[in-house]
Structure 1
Amino acid sequence: MSKANEKLKNDIKNLPDKPGVYQYFNKEGRLLYIGKAKSLKKRVKSYFRFSPHFCPAPNLSPRIFKMASEVDALEYIIVENENDALILENSLIKQLKPKYNILLRDDKTYPYIYINMSEEFPRFEITRKVIKGKNIKYFGPLSTAAKDILDSIYELFPLVQKKGCLNQKKACLFYQIKRCSAPCEGKISTKEYKNIVDEAKKYILDKKTLIKKLEAKMSRLSAELRFEEAAEIRDRIERISKSEIQSNIDLARVEDIDIFAVYSEKGKASIVRMFMREGRVISSSSNIIRYDDTKGFDVDEAYKRAILDFYSVDSPITSKKIITAHDFSDRKTVESFLSQKLGKKITISTPKKGNKLNLAKLAILNAKELLKKQSKEKDDILLQVMKLLKLENYPFRIEIFDNSHIKGSIPVGAMAVYENGKFKKNDYRHYNLSSKDEYSQMREILTKRCNSFSKNPPPDLWVIDGGETLRRLAQDILQSFGVDIDVVAISKEKIDAKAYRAKGKAKDLIYTKNELFRLQPTDKRLLFLQKLRDEAHRFAIKFHREQKLKADRRISILKAKGIGEAKLKKLLDYFGSFENIKSASFSDLCSIIDEKSAKNIKNADF
């Protein structure tokens, strides 16, 4: 037995019989796996056999056996109880992205439609968080089409259309076009208004009826030759239809149930969530996971991750019952944790008969169908890039980084995000930088991004605008944070020491951990990576221009106050930014420039 194996064996034997989280590392120090345990000693020992020689236990699944074969070192954290271990495990997996853990990207809040029935003339609204109030009614979660449903309700029913309407005390245009009953002028009683609200509630829950009503409106608009409005209704109908899984299952009683199903085959797995409210399936959401088929897939962990991720965010949870299509090993632990977290008894069960079993089967059927709809490998550009660059993970989410400056002045950084086949502009980030050279600027950008991993977990792939030096820098920064994700860099080909980007002849270079790729300018994989790089560059340039205009305005104001270029340079060199100059104390300013100029700066509005 090697010294490393002997040390690992002794470390395992000396583990405490306490709850905690364990981490496995390989010979290169790469994080392989994070797990939680009621007893660290018993759980970790179960991965290995100690006689006649130390090796992975033969009863492990192929995936976990392969992982255990790579383990070279072990670290652990002791916690108070198993619930705390579950919380810590989930948090660390999201932040550190271990090689053998299943990684999902569903830690988002879902929109709900809600209404506060305590109000005299209540309105329907959209929320992603719990609303304070004793008589709040929620409809959801709605994975898609929440706004389409809400817009439809306000078009079909004469409800108070805007928040401020009741304050006007006078009927407005909405009353004239029969979109509101004008409670502001007392033209409808609270009882009559409540009847309209109750009718609208039925349409939110019953999308089939809502769609029929919208189709009738679309036909009427078409007959009146109002084709653009009819087309808008048509598109809305399509979005609402896509948001619902059709179900003819009739439960014996009205119930709220969340249903989870996992299905895997040939290197792909799908996770489907269905949300039943008051006996109707009102919406669904899904994930696709790609995995190495030679390692296998852990269905147990997929269920645990899917449920924990969905309930990890504070949202208006209305269901106390969770159904899973398959039982999973940590079910009781997850059930106990959710009950404690949500402050009510949560049950997780796997039905064996009846309509609840039919619900689970429906979820599995949709999970299978989801895999069928996936693009063929030859059409999947992400899969092609993954295979070419030998990436560890399928790049579902990609973050692309670039920086911009003019001779070192007003340096800024930018991060663009590509996910689910499109750029996610709401997730873009820009950074004001203090570093002067490009290497230090990129280090500053990436370090800032890593510091935010606890709030926004790392992606599957980083793309850096630059060469091997910047790629290695990014890899080192990630390693210092304990995160192991794929990193590639793309740089412009240089001819005679000048970057060469002539149209149609851009032979950019792609750097990975082990290889340098020189693809033909027409190669779709190169064109895809260039598209990512160019979007980050566009975003960086846009932000730099905005900051430059702001800086020019500030310079003009300070010049008018008698602060010349020389003094301004001294101030910027010392304080680093206009914001720091503005917030500096009078005495600090006087240590750099004369007293009169310091007074002028304190009096300047810049």
Structure 2
Amino acid sequence: MLENELKTLPNLPGIYQYFDIQGRLLYVGKAKNLKNRVKSYFNFAPKLCPNPNNSLRIQKMISQTHHLEFITTNSEADALILENSFIKQLHPKYNILLRDDKTYPYIYIDFSDDFPRFEITRKIIKKNKIKYFGPFFKGAKELINALYLTFPLRQKKTCKELCLFYQIKRCKGPCKEKISKQEYEKIIQKATQALLNPLSLVKNLESKMLEYAKNENYEDAAIIRDQIKTIQELSVKIQIDLAKLEDFDIFAIYCEENILSMVRFVVNNGKVISSNYKILVLKNHNEFDKNAIYKQYILENYTKEAPINSNHIYTYEEFEDMKLLQDLLSKRFSKKFYIKTPKLREKKDLCSLALENAKINIQKHLKNEHYLILKEIKEYFKLQNFPNRIEIFDNSHMQGIANVGGLVVFKDGGFDKKSYRHYHLKHKNDYEQMLEILSKRALSFDKNPPPDLWIIDGGSALLKLANDIIKSSGANVDILAISKEKIDAKAHRAKGSAKDKLYTLEGKIQLLPEDKKLQFFQKLRDEAHRFAISFHQRTKRKQDLQSSKLIQLGISQGYIKKFLDYYGSFDKILNADFNELKLLSNTKIAKLIKENL
């Protein structure tokens, strides 16, 4: 079948997909010419086999390929966009998935205003005379608060009268023309310089912190202390002085011991104002693909919605699709982009510094406790992916009432509570409820890329269900299930003593209660259970409120909630003492309850 499919390839740009014999997606690639590109993976004589000129990783992938599909596009640039989208959605086995393409905040100022202010945005502001600073990968809010604390800027967006800020000398009163535009412009210039040199704000913040502490205002002092710490972490300690006040970005990647490290420096007016790094654990060192990584990493930092600090990008080293990516960004933002690898002087030194930071980040990661336990789990359970991002599912109901499900996310060594999700469910039994939750999650892979590992609260039947859903989605996700030990028909959850069972596609595994791998999974399962049951309780209370006879009597939900908070259940409300009800509400409501129920 594969040999026949290779004969149908057109001489057109597009993307190609390789599948194994089970129909699982192995790889997505883009090509300027599909026929030439795909055939380069194979030798055709004396029989069809992997081309030995390719890397060992590619040869292994081709040896597993049973079927291929392709989609043609109008250009290679369109193919690159489609390739990136498919990789995000489906997490193919042999593609590297960077996954996290969120838009970071920028600080901007609108110079078309008479008395402009510094604001935070994550999207392009459609106005003229906008100046952006950033992106700031952390600390944007702390930085802008420090600016307004240090400089007498216009504190409010809309202000028609002199306010408290003017009284305490935090504002010069532009609303009543207490300051000229020229004088205000000088303040803006000083604030801009501070924005480009965040450490210059620390001295004033330290004075404010000591002042608050001296006046025993310890809460505000602690807030300032945390601001100082965040601003200090923003600064990249470098000894390189750029001769020109340029804006540009620098990208560098490095791989060691199967760990990929990526770094981005953001330069505004010749100053490195922020930096970001990302760590990804590869299956093996042969998976390292410099071209694919640079493409994905740069693309996810230049989304259509994000403001653009600069159209100049410098990379530590050259990669195959530099020109293609440059043309794509130029088309996307309707302005000429430049992607280069500097050979001399300051920019080359900055690229080398970014690479050194990438190396240091790997060494820090290798010493991380969570990395060690996750590495052990990957090897012990023979997972395809390093489980850096784990999604854990649980459902909760009471005799078919208030049916809900919960999704908990463990990422980068801790629970990522911003990514937790609730689900209202229609079905009443555990199997159909889990089918409903997992199906909803799989359908969202196009917007929120799949994780490395799913953990299901249940046994072998639910594990098989999850596997069927993942196979039908085409995504590459490992799956494990954990089944609670039952004692006297009740689930025993105590970490360190419960003899829970783990299920893989290969069969059941019983680990000792003191095994750290089991305890890790118990911690994840218990967090999912806590999250699901707390949502169930809130949902049930809401349903009880809506169906309560008290509502039918015309009693407001506010009073019903007050009664519930005090008595704990409807039965106790109905049996409560008249005078007690009267004290909690009024005579009329107390009579309604006692006379009608």
Distance in 2, Cα, partners of 1:119 & 1:521: 65
Once the 2 structures are TM-superposed, how far is the Cα of residue 20 of structure 1 from its aligned partner? 0.9
Look up the match of 2:590: none
Name 2:504's counterpart in structure 1: 512
Q: How many Å apart are 1:218 and its aligned residue?
A: 4.4
How far off is 1:217 after superposition? 4.4
Equivalent residue for 2:584? none
Quote the residue 1:81 is aligned against. 75
Distance 2:402 2:221 in 1: 50
The one of 403, 406, 416 aligned to 2:398: 406
- What's the counterpart of residue 50 of structure 1? 44
In 2, the alpha carbon distance for the partners of 1:63 and 1:281 equals 37
The AA in structure 2 aligned to 1:285 is: N
> 1:310: Cα distance to partner?
1.5
TM-score for the superposition, normalised by structure 2: 0.88
Amino acid of the structure 1 residue aligned with 2:55: S
Q: Tell me the amino acid that sits aligned with residue 394 of structure 2.
A: D
Is there any run of 5+ residues in structure 1 with no aligned partner, and where? 1-6, 563-606
Question: Does 248-257 or 128-137 show the bigger shift?
Answer: 248-257
Question: Where in structure 2 are the equivalents of 1:22-33 lying within 5 Å?
Answer: 22-33=16-27
Compute the displacement of 1:532 (Å).
1.2
The number of equivalent residue pairs is 553
Distance in 2 (alpha carbons) for counterparts of 1:212 and 1:334: 43
Corresponding residue of 1:173: 164
| Whole-angstrom CA distance in 2 between matches of 1:470 and 1:526 | 19
Q: What is the aligned counterpart of 2:354 among 348, 355, 363?
A: 363
Residue in structure 1 matched with residue 317 of structure 2 by the alignment: 326
1:273 — aligned with what?
264
Q: What amino acid maps onto 1:8 in structure 2?
A: L
Q: Name 2:197's counterpart in structure 1.
A: 206
Q: Which residue of 2 aligns with 1:342?
A: 333
CA positional deviation for 1:496 = 6.7
SS at match of 1:374: helix
- Please name the residue that 1:444 is paired with: 436
Aligned to 1:530: 522
Which of the numbers 298, 314, 323 marks the counterpart of 1:307?
298
Deviations 1:213-272 (A, max 9, x none): 434544565677766654443332221222232223233322111111010111111011
Render the CA deviation track for 1:335-387: whole Å, top value 9, x for unaligned.
11111111111111111112111121111111111111114376622222222
Return the letter of the residue paired with 1:178.
K
SS at match of 2:286: coil
When structure 1 is superposed on structure 2, of 231-240 and 406-415 the one drifting more is 231-240
What per-residue deviation string (whole Å, max 9, x for no partner) do you get for residues 192-218 of structure 1?
222212211111111232234434544
Q: 2:308 pairs with 317, 324, 341, which one? A: 317
Tell me by how many angstroms 1:434 deviates: 0.8
Range moving further from structure 2, 440-449 or 384-393: 384-393
**2:521 aligned partner, one-letter code:** L
Aligned to 2:284: 293
Q: 1:13·1:45 contact (CA, 8 Å) conserved in 2?
A: no
Deviations 1:442-481 (A, max 9, x none): 1111111111111111111111111111111111111111
Question: Residues 547 and 496 of structure 1: is their aligned pair in 2 closer, same or farther, counting only changes over 3 Å?
Answer: closer
Q: Distance in 2 between the 1:448 and 1:162 partners? A: 43
Quick one: which of 223, 229, 239 aligns to 1:248? 239
Mapping of residues 36-115 of structure 1, within 5 Å: 36-115=30-109
Confirm or deny that 1:435 pairs with 2:427: yes
Q: Distance in 2 between matches of 1:520 and 1:93?
A: 38
TM-aligned CA deviation for residue 312 of structure 1: 3.0
Aligned counterpart in structure 2 of residue 521 of structure 1, from 513, 524, 532: 513
Indicate if the aligned counterparts of 2:103 and 2:303 stay in contact, CA closer than 8 A.
no
Check the 8 A contact 2:210/2:221 in 1, yes or no.
yes
Show the counterpart of 2:111.
117
1:561/1:498 Cα in 2 relative to 1: closer, same or farther (>3 Å)? closer
Find the aligned partners of 1:519 and 1:120 in 2 and give their Cα distance. Answer: 69
- Map 1:451-490; keep pairs closer than 5 Å: 451-490=443-482
The secondary structure found in structure 2 opposite 1:108 is coil
Over 3 Å counting, the alpha-carbon distance change for 1:283 and 1:501 in structure 2 is closer
Worse-matched range after superposition: 7-16 or 336-345: 7-16
Q: Deviations over 1:574-603 (max 9, x none)?
A: xxxxxxxxxxxxxxxxxxxxxxxxxxxxxx
Equivalent residue letter for 1:115: I
> Partners in 1 of 2:495 and 2:343 — Cα distance?
63
Distance 2:540 2:534 in 1: 10
Give, in angstroms, the shift of residue 157 of structure 1.
0.8
Kept after mapping to 2: 8 A contact 1:377/1:383:
no
> 1:275-333 CA distances to partner (integer Å, 9 max, x unpaired)?
11111111111111111336341112111111112213510112101111111111111
Q: Distance in 1 between matches of 2:397 and 2:156?
A: 45
Superposed displacement of residue 395, structure 1 = 1.4
> Do the aligned partners of 1:109 and 1:313 also contact (CA within 8 Å) in 2?
no
Task: Give the Cα separation in 2 of the matches to 1:150 and 1:101.
Answer: 39
Distance in 2 (alpha carbons) for counterparts of 1:86 and 1:447 = 29
Q: Does 1:552 align with 2:544?
A: yes
Q: Check 1:515–1:378 CA distance in 2 against 1; reply closer, same or farther (3 A cut).
A: farther
Aligned equivalents of 2:496, 2:8: Cα separation in 1: 63
1:545-595: CA deviation from partner (whole Å, max 9, x where unpaired): 222122122213797289xxxxxxxxxxxxxxxxxxxxxxxxxxxxxxxxx
Q: TM-score, normalising length from structure 1?
A: 0.87
CA shift at 1:9, angstroms?
2.5
Give the C-alpha shift of residue 160 in structure 1.
2.2
Q: Find the aligned partners of 1:266 and 1:502 in 2 and give their Cα distance.
A: 36
The offset of 1:162, in angstroms, is 2.9
Give me the whole-angstrom Cα distance separating, in 1, the residues matched to 2:285 and 2:118.
50
The code of the aligned residue for 1:279 comes to G
What is the correspondence of 1:566-581 to structure 2 with a 5 Å cutoff? none
8 Å CA contact 1:417, 1:423 repeated in 2: yes
Following the alignment from structure 2 to structure 1, what is the Cα–Cα distance between the partners of residues 459 and 304? 39
Q: Does 1:143 align with 2:137?
A: yes
Task: State the distance in 1 between where 2:427 and 2:219 align.
Answer: 52
Deviation string 1:489-546 (CA, Å, 9 cap, x unpaired) is: 1110235765344675211111122132222222222222111111111111121122
Moved more, 355-364 or 249-258: 249-258
Task: Name the residue aligned to 1:568.
Answer: none
Q: Tell me by how many angstroms 1:142 deviates.
A: 0.5
Q: 1:600 maps to which residue?
A: none
Contact 1:221-1:229 within 8 A present in 2 as well: yes
Letter in 2 for 1:191: Q
Correspondence 1:188 to 2:179: yes
- Larger mean CA deviation between 223-232 and 442-451 belongs to 223-232
Q: How far, CA to CA, are the matches of 2:111 and 2:45 in structure 1?
A: 67
Residues 66 and 295, structure 1, Cα contact 8 Å, conserved in 2: no
Structure 2 match to 1:596: none
Kindly indicate whether the alpha-carbon contact (under 8 Å) linking 1:413 and 1:540 is maintained by their aligned counterparts in 2.
yes
- In 1, are the aligned partners of 2:88 and 2:99 still within 8 Å (CA)? no
In the aligned structure 1, how far is the partner of 2:145 from the partner of 2:115?
A: 18
Q: 1:391 maps to what in 2?
A: 383
Of residues 144-153 and 73-82 in structure 1, the stretch that sits farther from structure 2 once superposed is: 73-82
Distance between the aligned counterparts of 2:476 and 2:470, measured in 1?
Answer: 6
Matches for 1:210-249 after TM superposition, within 5 Å: 210-218=201-209, 229-249=220-240
- Which 10-residue stretch deviates more, 317-326 or 45-54? 45-54
Whether the 8 Å contact between 2:545 and 2:551 is mirrored in structure 1 is no
Label 1:313 to 1:341 Cα distance change in 2 as closer, same or farther (>3 A).
Answer: closer
Shift in alpha-carbon separation, 1:276–1:502, aligned structure 2, 3 A: closer
Give the residue type in structure 1 aligned to 2:5. D
Measure the CA separation in 2 of the matches of 1:250 and 1:402. 54
Distance 1:88 1:539 in 2: 36
